[in-house]
Amino acid sequence: MATPENKLAFSGGWEYDPAPQSTDHITLNKRYGLFINGDFVPPARGRYFDTINPATEEKISRVADASSDDVDKAVKAARAAYNGAWGRMKPAERGKYIYRIARIIQERAREFSVIESLDGGKPIRESRDIDVPLAAAHFFYYAGWADKLEYAFPGRTARSLGVAGQIIPWNFPLLMASWKIAPALACGNTVVLKPAETTPLTALKLAEVVADAGLPPGVVNIITGSGVAGAALVEHPGVDKIAFTGSTNVGRMIQKTLAGTNKKYTLELGGKAANIIFADAAIDEAVEGIVNGIFFNQGHVCCAGSRLLVQESVADEVIAKLKDRMETLIVGDPLDKNTDIGAINSPMQLEKIESYLKIGREEGGEMHQSSCRLPKKGYWCRPTIFTGVSQSNRIVQDEIFGPVLAIQTFRRYDEAVMKANNTPYGLSGGVWTDKGAKIFKVTQAIRAGVIWANTFNKFDPTSPFGGYKESGVGREGGLHGLGAYVKLGA
Ligand code: NAD
């Protein structure tokens, strides 16, 4: 069993020296306006808010707080671009602009990763190796489709929708922006994108990339602000399509607002995925997969493996190995290249996670946390597991969005499937077994948009992503992601 005393033994007897990522190469303004019609402009009502580094609680910059007047201005700019230069442009030319965005993101990858980690709290290793490369890959992938839509929808004509209103959360700010903007542009639409309140900076940097890539003014508009601006975008009569990624609660409100309108929509919402470990699985790999599934990005992942269903005969072994592995995870400075778990994104999110730790204990669950030291400033949560929990517990049913894993056991295959399916969500899942036939059987039986086998949290722009049940409506990514941005005719 790992303890602070023998912790050094797990790292081979050595503590890691700090390996901080340099921040010399980034430039951030003290204040950012709204990116409308190709320029940064002040918000109509002159209001700004701070964006904070969650690892230090220090202010990084100030960003504009868009009102409904600004939303109106951005939608009108997007409409004018759609009716103008962008709408008239040949698809192959459109593709060139999207390729250019992809290449500039690659060129500025170090800058993007550092800003993502500063603003959002995620470890630099993740923003550098996952968020930024995948964001560029999305633009590359959809750039290729721009002049090939007739092959994407054989025998049908695909026409663009018009202006897309896009609203994204704080857990993958640049990546979610690319999931939204790239397919919309490839299909010939123009966009108004609203990033989340706590992580606006990489979206504003993306606005700079859009300007550097020479896109006609108004094709991409980026407006920072709160849910008020998001709601104004959803309600705006000049918007033809809403693409939303965020919580199920807000998704529900948006769906109500859109009911009875002609607006097309996709909703990518919450999740409570189960990793199912059968006794015949490669246990060490499975433990690594669990760690990756829930502690990766502080558990701020919609498809996080926040539940573990482990076959009873190997449960003790898996839990012991998991506890040992948790002891070796480094929690701390997101800009340190050794860090495994960074800062919780905001004080509100930390409060929510802590309230669930209390609920879990009150429900009778047994809580275990790693013994790591936490930095004095900033928002942090130790990797946490709960055992002794049952299916009806909130810790098993609710999305927590933090590094908190609820562990249950099962004896038979059908019990595992029943438990995995028994939540309101259906976004993702994982299965770990030595038997290919079992993989096919389980993946058919689980109602979730993506299920990984003997791995977890793997993404690719060519594969569709989206949820069943309360995890959402529609798909993003791949060919399916194009369908969400076109009208199909005969
Ligand atoms: P959130 O729903 O609170 O906010 C998401 C975005 O919606 C923000 O930009 C916010 O300003 C905006 N918003 C808030 N109220 C609004 C309203 N009334 N109308 C329109 N927009 C409004 O979610 P969050 O806390 O930022 O993100 C976490 C959630 O996102 C989790 O539930 C997570 O599972 C989900 N998520 C889902 C996916 C997916 O692909 N399914 C991906 C990432 C995150």
User: Distance between alpha carbon 353 and the CA centroid of its chain, in Å?
Assistant: 18
- pTM metric for this prediction: 0.96
What ligand 1 atom has the least distance to the C-alpha of 467? 41
Report yes or no: 390 and 396 within 8 Å, Cβ to Cβ.
yes
Ligand 1 pocket (Cβ < 6 Å) reads 167-171, 194, 196-197, 226-227, 230-231, 234, 245-247, 250, 253-254, 268-271, 302, 399, 401, 427, 467, 472
- 270 C-alpha to center of ligand 1: Å? 9
pLDDT of 4 strictly over 70: no
What structural domains does the chain harbor?
31-269+471-489 (3.40.605.10), 274-461 (3.40.309.10)
With a pLDDT cut of 90, the percent of the chain lying above it is 95
pLDDT tens column, 177-204:
999 999 999 999 999 999 999 999 999 9
Active-site pick, 302, 303, 372, 381: 302
Ligand 1 pocket mutation pick from 171, 267, 457, 468 by most atoms within 8 angstroms of CB: 171
Average pLDDT, the chain: 96
Report yes or no: 293 and 407 within 8 Å, Cβ to Cβ.
no
pLDDT-derived band of residue 451, with 50, 70 and 90 as boundaries? very high
Mean pLDDT of all residues in 463-471: 96
pLDDT tens column, 392-412:
999 999 999 999 999 999 999
Which has the closest alpha carbon to 226: 40, 11, 64, 45? Answer: 64
Strand (E) or helix (H) holding 358: helix 347-362
pLDDT score of 13: 54
Active-site pick, 268, 327, 470, 476: 268
- 245 C-alpha to center of ligand 1: Å? 5
Tell me the one-letter amino acid at 333: D
Mean pLDDT of all residues in 241-268: 97
- 20 C-alpha to center of ligand 1: Å? 31
Alpha-carbon gap, residue 153 to 205, rounded angstroms: 34
- 301 C-alpha to center of ligand 1: Å? 12
* 363: annotated active-site residue: no
Nearest Cα residue to atom 15 of ligand 1: 227
pLDDT score of 15: 77
- 179 C-alpha to center of ligand 1: Å? 14
User: Distance between alpha carbon 440 and the CA centroid of its chain, in Å?
Assistant: 27
Which has the closest alpha carbon to 309: 427, 407, 394? Answer: 407
Site of tokens 């009873």: 312
Distances (CA, A) of 401 to 82, 297, 306: 37, 10, 8
- 401 C-alpha to center of ligand 1: Å? 12
Nearest Cα residue to atom 26 of ligand 1: 169
Between 10 and 420, name the one with better pLDDT: 420
Site of tokens 């607002």: 257
CB atoms within 10 A of CB 69: 12
Query: DSSP assignment, residue 128?
Result: I
Sign for the CA dihedral angle at 66, 40, 140, 305 comes to negative
Mean pLDDT of all residues in 440-466: 96
Which has the closest alpha carbon to 147: 102, 189, 187? Answer: 187
Mean pLDDT of all residues in 43-60: 98
Alpha-carbon gap, residue 131 to 114, rounded angstroms: 11
- Angle CA(463)–CA(216)–CA(208) in degrees, nearest 5? 70
Mean pLDDT of all residues in 121-139: 98
Sign for the CA dihedral angle at 143, 149, 154, 160 comes to positive
* 268: annotated active-site residue: yes
Report yes or no: 224 and 62 within 8 Å, Cβ to Cβ.
no
What ligand 1 atom has the least distance to the C-alpha of 233? 20
Q: Locate 268 and state its tokens.
A: 């990518």
pLDDT score of 296: 87
pLDDT-derived band of residue 323, with 50, 70 and 90 as boundaries? very high
Query: DSSP assignment, residue 298?
Result: G
Query: DSSP assignment, residue 20?
Result: B
Ligand 1 pocket mutation pick from 51, 178, 247 by most atoms within 8 angstroms of CB: 247
| Pairing of the two strands 220-222 and 190-194 | parallel
What ligand 1 atom has the least distance to the C-alpha of 271? 34
Report yes or no: 181 and 213 within 8 Å, Cβ to Cβ.
no
pLDDT score of 14: 67
pLDDT-derived band of residue 3, with 50, 70 and 90 as boundaries? very low
Ligand 1 pocket mutation pick from 226, 235, 245 by most atoms within 8 angstroms of CB: 245
pLDDT score of 207: 98
Query: DSSP assignment, residue 17?
Result: P
**How many Cα atoms occupy the beta-carbon half-sphere of 403 within 13 Å?**
26
